[in-house]
Structure 1
Amino acid sequence: MSSLAQSVYIRPLTAEDASAMLALRVRNQAFFQPFEPIRPASFLTLEGQREQLAAAERDFAAGTAYAFGVFLRENDELIGRVNLSNVVRGAWQNATMGYYLDQSLGGRGCMTQAVRQALRFAFAEAGLHRVQAAVMPRNGASIRVLEKTGFRREGLSLRYLQINGVWEDHLIFAITREEWT
């Protein structure tokens, strides 16, 4: 693992991260758009980011979702995000994981390390049993992150999510506490 990847940490996002999140989102808008839903124009505003992050704080406190910023240790720069969303308790104890990283830092192991840290939180702190992720088959970089962090491929879900205005097929990956190392 590169020294850059080892210098990544995650922490819960707060509304105070709105300016840094907006800068990250604007800088990477063209890169992220093919992999995300179409969002309202207000999303790429400071107020839109504040609202989204305030909601993320409420969800974190309620235990229904956990949003983490990915930061470089050397300068505390926000470079990405990893989420544990759709938390279901009871017999399932499951969450879905999603993530993104500044395009300029791709391929350096940063997101792999951030996902490992989020899994540690999911299993050791949040008490989850299973984490799943859905990835479009053409998103090779995301698939590699999941494979390197121990996720197993479970199958293909047709027309699973509406991404960039199109119902896209997604590969489903998952990992359970027993598989996590």
Structure 2
Amino acid sequence: MTTIHKTTQRLIIRPFEKEDFTSWSEAHRSVGHLKNHFDLAPRNPEELTPEIFDQILTDQAANREKGELFDLGAFCREKGTLLGGVSLMDIRRIVVFNTNIGYRFFNQHWGKGYAKEAVDAAIDIAFTQLALHRVEAAIEPDNFRSIRLAEKVGLRLEGFKRRFLHLRNGWRDCLIYAITSEERNIEHPGRETTVVPNLRW
């Protein structure tokens, strides 16, 4: 299992642990009124139990073991508060060495630069600790906050995909932003895989 961890000026980016239950439950309880239709609602109070949190940890550990998905919490270095999180999803290591990045921060912490700091760190994790070559983000065209964040951390607009993500009970068009390791002066070795893609069958 790959262990990943990165400390920034204000944050600690790492997988969730059993000791994070209190911080996790308090973060959900402290969410303010939803600020826009991209803002995710917190969990219902009846879901904020140790049993449900333990199941979340079990599922996340299984995903890390398979190397396909890394859900990372963004914790305040000073107070240990859970501010939000970043996910490195759909990791592929056959030819492309690619991941899709997603991020969600509790709205009581918006406007303080935490998301930029965390996403920037997660991209570095993808290139250095996970040895990936490319990070992509799929963003709805009217999600201007997310677009600004992507641009601030160096992602480039590469294209447009129609009805790409199923969100809020419907298929959504997305802009595709991306960055490669070379753009951060990290050379990827381009390792050959043990599976030749066009001969898998």
TM-score (structure 2 length as normaliser): 0.76
For 1:94 and 1:82, locate their aligned partners in 2 and report how far apart those are by CA, in whole Å: 16
Larger Rg, first or second structure (1 or 2): 2
Deviating beyond 2 angstroms after TM superposition, the runs of 4 or more aligned structure 1 residues are 14-38, 40-50
Which residues of structure 1 form unaligned runs of 5+? Answer: none
- The answer to whether structure 1 residue 163 and structure 2 residue 149 are counterparts is no
Q: Once the 2 structures are TM-superposed, how far is the Cα of residue 29 of structure 1 from its aligned partner?
A: 8.0
For 2:18 and 2:141, locate their aligned partners in 1 and report how far apart those are by CA, in whole Å: 33
1:52 aligns with one of 35, 47, 56: 56
For 1:43 and 1:99, locate their aligned partners in 2 and report how far apart those are by CA, in whole Å: 24
2:31 aligns with one of 28, 31, 42: 28
When the two structures are aligned, how many residues end up with a matched partner?
A: 177
Instruction: Determine helix, strand or coil for the equivalent of 2:171.
Output: strand
1:14 aligns with one of 4, 17, 33: 17
Give the number of the structure with larger relative contact order, counting CA–CA contacts within 8 Å between residues 6 or more apart. 1
- The answer to whether structure 1 residue 75 and structure 2 residue 101 are counterparts is no
Which residues of structure 2 form unaligned runs of 5+? Answer: 1-7, 186-201
8 Å CA contact retained: 2:39, 2:107: no
The percentage of aligned residue pairs carrying the same residue is 32
The aligned runs of 1:1-181 (5 Å cut-off) are 6-28=9-31, 31=34, 34-35=37-38, 44-46=47-49, 47-180=51-184
Deviations 1:42-95 (A, max 9, x none): 994433343223211221233211111001111111110101011110201011
Instruction: Determine helix, strand or coil for the equivalent of 2:12.
Output: strand
For 2:28 and 2:173, locate their aligned partners in 1 and report how far apart those are by CA, in whole Å: 24
TM-score (structure 1 length as normaliser): 0.84
